Amino acid sequence: MNETKYASFRAKLEKIRFSIIGEVQEKYKSKKNQLNESVADIADDAVQSYDRQMIMGLGEKDLTKLRLVEEAIEKLDDGQYGVC
Query: By three-state DSSP, how is residue 19 classified?
Result: helix
DSSP 41: S
CB 72 within 8 A of CB 13: yes
Q: Contact 32/51 with Cβ under 8 angstroms?
A: no
Mind listing the pLDDT tens digit of every residue in the chain (84 residues)? Answer: 788 988 999 999 999 989 988 887 777 776 656 555 554 556 666 666 766 666 666 677 888 888 899 899 999 999 887 776
pLDDT of residue 7: 92
For the chain, the domains span 3-78
Cβ atoms within 10 Å of 72's Cβ, excluding its own: 19
3-state secondary structure of 79: coil
